[in-house]
Amino acid sequence: MPRPDVSAERKAQILQAAQQVFARQSFHDVSMQTIAQTAGLSVGGVYWYFKSKDEIIAALLARNAEPILDRLRQLADSDAPTTARLKTFFREIIAAEDQIAVLYSTGIKLYAMTGANPQLQNSVRAIGAAYRDGLATLIRQGVERGEFQPVNASDAAMALLGLYEGLMLLWLADPQAVQFENTLQAGVMLMLKGLMHP
């Protein structure tokens, strides 16, 4: 009689723990020891499910990007005005700030630290490209539907993405100085105004 497969559960448990500790410390400052303890496992136990620290990080990255990419795909199928859809998207991100902040804390650290591991670099790049493409699709629709000026959708998408990432970065660096919601909303509004026909 096969025991129930604990593998998925354990992996989730470990990623959950990793998320939690990576949120507060830099990658090099988090030891496998810590991750294991936080997950309620032994070091060897963690290695049973992930072959290396980097593999944990990569899994984390993928896990965090998933729901956001899903939402972008959903919005691409909507007929609502593009400005509204983009506003919605960023409003939702802002609303989920509490949940997302932690994710992005890790995510952004990753963007900035990919240097050494090429495999990780590829993951990061793939996810970055997916974000950009998702946004670009919306903007392209906006242009096609006559809502936006005929801009380069890819550049505009990258700019929006950059704005978001940059503000998240600044906010993480100094949470008290940056009011994430207001500023992101303000920045997105500026860009959308710039995109629309005068």
Number of separate helices (H) and strands (E) present in the chain: 9, 0
| Polymer length in residues for the chain | 198
Nearest CB to a copy of itself, comparing residues 28 and 79: 28
State in angstroms the smallest separation of the CB of 8 from DNA: 10
Interface residues with a copy of itself (CB under 8 A)?
24-26, 28-29, 108-109, 111-116, 121, 124-125, 128-129, 132, 151-152, 155-156, 158-159, 161-170, 172-174, 177-179, 182-184, 186-187, 189-195, 198
CB atoms within 10 A of CB 75: 21
Site string for DNA, 42-61 (x = CB under 7 A): xxxx-xxx-xxxx-------
Question: How many Å apart are CA 81 and CA 142, to the nearest integer?
Answer: 8
Does 22 participate in binding DNA (rule CB under 7 A)? no
Nearest CB to a copy of itself, comparing residues 12 and 37: 37
Nearest to 167 by CA among 154, 139, 186: 186
Q: Give residue 138's identity as a one-letter amino acid code.
A: L
For tokens 């506003």, name the residue: 87
Question: How many Å apart are CA 141 and CA 149, to the nearest integer?
Answer: 11
Nearest CB to a copy of itself, comparing residues 95 and 129: 129
Q: Which residues bind DNA (CB under 7 A)?
A: 1, 3, 5-7, 10, 28-33, 41-45, 47-49, 51-54
